[in-house]
Structure formats: C-alpha cells, structure tokens
C-alpha cells in the first residue's frame, strides 16, 4: 500500500537504541548463559565430553515431551532440513503423501513432497482457518504419510494435532504422521506418545531459544523401524544412518557441536519447571499480546490461536508492513505477514527467553507504535488488557 505512513522514530535522537529486541517468531531472544556456551574454547565432538553432551541434549529433547521411547536426532541445518530428513528417510519413492495445509509453512511441506516426486495430495484451508480433522483423515485414508503443521507461524493458528492424528489413524492405522512442531515444541502442549504422532520436527531458533542452526527430530518407537533404505533419501539427511550413529553418541558428519552445548543449556532451563507450567505460562504470555492488540484496535487472525506467536490484523487502513516497520524503528524486531499476505497482519512473539514482563513491555511498545501511526485508542488499554490476561 503506497499511502501507508512511514515509520517515525519515537526515542529522542540523543538516546542511542542499544538493542533490537527480537519479538519475531524466530530467531528469538537467547539467554546469556546459553550464548556463553558458544564462547568456550572450541570443543570436539569426538572427545568424551562432546559425545556426552550430544547424548545429554538428545535425552533432554525427549524428556521435554515426556516421550521416553522416542529417539531424537539432531541435524546440523534448520528446521526445514530436519523435515526433509524425516520425509526422505521414511517415504518410499512414489508413495502417496497428504499435506494438510493452511498457511506458509504447511504449504512448504506439500511443495517439498511434490519436488521429491511423491504422489502428493493437498488438503487446503484458507490461511487463518484451522484444519478439519475428518477432512484430513478422509484424504489420508489410503496414504503412506501425512504431513501436518501443529503451530502455523504464518497465521498464528494452532491446529488440533491430537484430533487430526486420532482421526487419521482411526481410518488408516499404518499411516505415518510427520508433524511440523517447529513453533510448538517447548511452547504448546504436545504429547506425541499419547497422541500417536510418529515424527516431531523442530528447529533450535524457535521454542528452544537457541541460535539458529540445528534441526531437531523425535521418532516414535514404531517409526524408528520404518526408516527404510529404499527411499529417495539423501546422503546427508539419511535419518537411519544418523539415528544409528547418534544412539551411540556419534554423528556420521561433523555436527555444530557448539550449538549442541547451547541447546543443552537452554533445554536445562526449560526442564527446570514441569512442562505443564511452561506450556500454561507461554499460553498466558501470548494471550497477553493478543489481548493488548485487541484492546487497541487490532484483531487476531486465527480462529484457534497458537501460544507461540500473536498474529494480528492491524486496525482498518493500516498494513502489517507499516506496523512491523514502526516497531523496528522503535528497536523491536517484529515481522509482517508472509507472502502473499505480507500486509494482512503483523506478528509479535514472546517465544524464547522472554517472560511475562517482556509481554507487558511489548504491549506498551504496541501502544507507542499504534500512536505513532495515528491510530485512535485509549492510552493504557493495551497494557491493562495484557496484565489482565497474565492473571488467567
């Protein structure tokens, strides 16, 4: 939109902005103690300490979800690499793959399956909506694998992974469910064992509050046996080979060992409270952001919201890009929407190393941004609404 207002600096020129607070849905703020792991003298992945650290991080990954039978694999690469590894290491060439999608990231998995030449079928819903479990189950009744996204970061929707998996497996017990949990792992309630999800995929720079560079996977006991050699799998992303090596503390290739130290330190913090407490608090923090935005004229896009990110449609006449640019001018790295909906929404997140007082601060910054952009609202209403939501 050409007539959108330009961002105005709101801090006096003589006060240097000493930070870009990351309030984008990844990468997120990282605890200094976690960053300090990266400043150690270079460690070696084959040294006993390096092997032990990999084993520790792998155990922490399944512990966070209370999924002891699940074996984890840590891939050097982003979340997308991990997803690709799961896909190509489990699905034989030409097999039927169903991609359930309602946003940018879930669409990526359908595109990926198509590129690998799978018999790819899409179950699509408009962005902002949630998937219908029965519709997905029906499409996947004779499929080999279902690709589904739990927390759709482009729209702020939390799909009902439990209901989708239950409905799909009731129709097709042999179905493999690969779930993109990139922004739900460590943030939203996620019980792969109880829900029957075969593969959980995540990335280090989202809910696990670590710098980018690691893809995280958890494989159910049953699906570990289905990592088969006759797939179009790559060499680097051969999950059968990785799992075999990592179970013994070794990776076939050089891993980003420094990041594994950082990941383990971050998981230690996440594991210091019961997982239910962590999930409930992240939910309240995100509800606070949604409530703040709503109180000052924005509205949530998704009908069923994810606790990972507040995706808000700005007030009438204002675009998501202008809001994100204004926030950036104020030292806050938020994001607009994703193509083709860049201007429909802006996205702010309290994932990562951020607590409820960060949520309150973001509520205050949103007020300042809206005021700078000429929105009319009751000053203080956003912060008050956030505060109220935090009591919840």
Ligand X SMILES: *Cc1c(COP(=O)(O)O)cnc(C)c1O
Interface residues toward ligand X, by CB under 6 A: 26, 78-80, 105, 149, 151, 153, 180, 182-183, 203, 206
Instruction: Provide the 8-state DSSP code for 45.
Output: T
* Closest separation in Å from C-beta 179 to ligand X: 10
What string of DSSP letters covers 299-342?
EES-SSB-TT-EEEEPSTT--HHHHHHHHHHTTEE-EE--TT-T
Helix, strand, coil distribution of the chain in percent, nearest 5: 40, 15, 45
* Closest separation in Å from C-beta 364 to ligand X: 26
Which two three-digit tokens encode residue 296?
């000052």
Contact 306, 156 (CB under 8 A): yes
> Closer CB to ligand X, residue 108 or residue 226?
108
Which two three-digit tokens encode residue 68?
């002891």
Query: SS3 of 230, please?
Result: coil
> Closer CB to ligand X, residue 180 or residue 242?
180
* Closest separation in Å from C-beta 233 to ligand X: 18
User: Which residues are within 8 A (CB) of 168 and not within 5 positions of it... i.e. 6 or more apart?
Assistant: 133, 136, 137, 140, 146, 175, 177
> Closer CB to ligand X, residue 120 or residue 151?
151
* Closest separation in Å from C-beta 214 to ligand X: 9
d(CA 325, CA 374): 14
> Closer CB to ligand X, residue 80 or residue 258?
80
In degrees rounded to 5, what are phi and psi of residue 350? -115, 25
> Closer CB to ligand X, residue 107 or residue 367?
107
> Closer CB to ligand X, residue 62 or residue 151?
151
* Closest separation in Å from C-beta 344 to ligand X: 17
Query: SS3 of 177, please?
Result: strand
HEC string of 89-141? HHCCCCCEEEEEECCHHHHHHHHHHHHCCCEEEEEECCCCCCCCHHHHHHHCC
* Closest separation in Å from C-beta 155 to ligand X: 10
125 marked ligand binding residue: no
> Closer CB to ligand X, residue 79 or residue 382?
79
* Closest separation in Å from C-beta 183 to ligand X: 4
Contact 261, 214 (CB under 8 A): no
Closest by CA to 218, choosing from 367, 28, 70, is 70
Annotated binding site for substrate: 347
List the binding residues: 347
């Amino acid at each position: 939109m050409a007539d959108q207002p330009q961002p105005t600096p709101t801090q006096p020129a003589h006060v240097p902005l000493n930070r870009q607070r990351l309030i984008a849905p990844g990468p997120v703020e990282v605890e200094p103690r976690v960053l300090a792991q990266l400043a150690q003298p270079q460690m070696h992945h084959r040294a006993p300490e390096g092997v032990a650290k990999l084993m520790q991080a792998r155990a922490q990954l399944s512990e966070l979800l209370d999924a002891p039978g699940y074996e984890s694999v840590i891939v050097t690469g982003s979340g997308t690499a991990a997803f690709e590894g799961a896909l190509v290491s489990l699905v034989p060439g030409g097999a039927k793959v169903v991609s359930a999608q309602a946003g940018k990231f879930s669409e990526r998995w359908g595109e990926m399956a198509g590129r690998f030449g799978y018999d790819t079928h899409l179950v699509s819903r408009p962005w902002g909506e949630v998937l219908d479990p029965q519709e997905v189950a029906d499409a996947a009744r004779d499929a080999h694998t279902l690709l589904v996204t739990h927390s759709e970061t482009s729209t702020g929707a939390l799909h009902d992974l439990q209901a989708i998996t239950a409905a799909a497996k009731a129709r097709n017990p042999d179905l493999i469910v690969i779930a993109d949990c990139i922004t739900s792992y460590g943030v939203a309630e996620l019980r792969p064992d109880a829900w029957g999800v075969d593969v959980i995929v995540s990335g280090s720079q989202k809910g696990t509050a670590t710098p980018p560079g690691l893809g995280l996977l958890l494989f159910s006991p049953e699906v570990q046996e289905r990592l088969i050699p006759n797939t179009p799998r790559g060499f680097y992303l051969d999950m059968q080979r990785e799992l075999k090596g990592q179970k013994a503390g070794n990776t076939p290739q050089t891993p980003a060992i420094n990041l594994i130290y950082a990941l383990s330190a971050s998981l230690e913090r996440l594991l210091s409270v019961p997982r239910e407490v962590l999930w409930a608090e992240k939910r309240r923090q995100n509800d606070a952001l949604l409530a703040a935005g709503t109180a000052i004229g924005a509205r949530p896009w998704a009908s069923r919201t994810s606790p990972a990110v507040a995706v808000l449609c700005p007030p009438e006449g204002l675009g998501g890009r202008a809001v994100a640019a204004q926030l950036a001018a104020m030292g806050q790295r938020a994001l607009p929407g994703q193509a083709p909906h860049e201007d429909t929404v802006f996205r702010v997140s309290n994932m990562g190393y951020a607590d409820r007082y960060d949520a309150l601060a973001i509520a205050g910054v949103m007020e300042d941004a809206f005021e700078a952009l000429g929105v009319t609202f009751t000053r203080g209403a956003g912060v008050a609404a956030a505060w109220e939501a935090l009591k919840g």
